[in-house]
Amino acid sequence: MNEREERPLPEMTNEDRRDMLYLEETGGLPTQIDRSRDLFFRFLLGCPSRLNLLGDLLNSLFSVRGCPRIEQLELRNPNLPPNGVNLKESRLDIAVVDEQGRHLNIELQRENHKHFIPRGLFYLDKLFIEPLGGGEDYGKLKPTIVICLLAFDLFREEERCVWGFRWMSPEGKILTDVQQLFYVEMNKARERLLEICHRAELDPDPVLTDEERLRVWCGYMVNDELGVRLVQEVLTKDKVFREVNAAEQSYWGTPEYRYYQLRAQMAEMDRKAIEETHIEEATAKGMAQGMAQGMAQGMAQGKAEGMAQGRAEGRAEGRAEGRAEGRAEGRVETARNLLQMGFELDKIAQATQLSLDEIKTIKARMSD
């Protein structure tokens, strides 16, 4: 196996290499690994020599969901060819096939976004039809599973952390299992890590259940202090986690990986700064529009009432009501602007101080 297979680094330009060497010499490279980054995820679980680690993670999940276990995995090309009218090409994080012929796509997702769920369905369908060439029999279609490991809470109101979806009628009749989609909310899965840690400290070689193994995996992947400690210091007799720890040391000892983590972190900071600027601009625009509309309505109402109760008193009251109505209308207008820009509902609620139910109502009215 060549170094390129074992260490899937992006191509590095001469300028990149000069920057990396300078940062290494001056102490500018990151000092702490971020295990929730795609590059480390693919290095750890997407290399031919470490597919046993991926199998351990997947079997922990499948056991929790009551799915058949995996005995053997083979890497597939993660680049799905373009098809359809738009000829959209897709690159998966990790693509494998098991001994049962099931095609699996494992994705690591750091943040939620507007099109996250549709994208998962797109990958599921594209991976499903990929083996079928023109004029071939539908029997060539293989069972397809997409597993999304999430570093955020997708279903915040629910306590469970593992979700499985397949074709089923509202009455509970299963149509087929040939397509399945799993979401693992890793932050929720960290629960009970303290209990596992205490037991492991009393027993140097504890037997973990598959559910407990999944929790340790999730804690480790989201940089949870207990999850990392379990892998690095506590479960030292566990063959799989001992190999995970060795792989991490190899990864972090390579300056190229630290350099690309720094670049990913900087790109993420730039994107968030742009996003915050858009929110501020939309908020200012919405508040200005709302204040103008509210003031106009309030002044008109105040003027009408002031004719009966006194011009001065009516105008004062109209201004007060106008400001209140303007602020309320401004928040609504801001919410409309942010919805049109594709922001998530919870971020819009945070920016406007409106409730999620109010945001959903505004969104529904915009669709009418």
Nearest in space to 109 (alpha carbons), one of 65, 157, 146: 146
CB-CB contact of 44 with 53 (8 Å) = yes
Q: 117-166: per-residue pLDDT in tens?
A: 888 888 888 888 877 766 677 777 889 999 999 999 999 888 889 999 99
Which whole-number Å values give the CA distances from 27 to 14, 22, 23, 37, 114, in the listed order?
A: 20, 8, 6, 21, 37
Kindly tell me if the per-residue pLDDT of 262 is higher than 60. Answer: yes
Q: 295-313: per-residue pLDDT in tens?
A: 667 666 655 555 555 454 5
Average pLDDT value for residue range 84-91: 63
Q: Is 105 helix (H, G, I), strand (E, B) or coil?
A: strand
Confidence at residue 355, expressed as pLDDT on a 0 to 100 scale: 86
Lowest mean pLDDT among 98-112, 136-150, 268-282, 332-346: 268-282
pTM above 0.85, yes or no: no
CB-CB contact of 204 with 230 (8 Å) = no
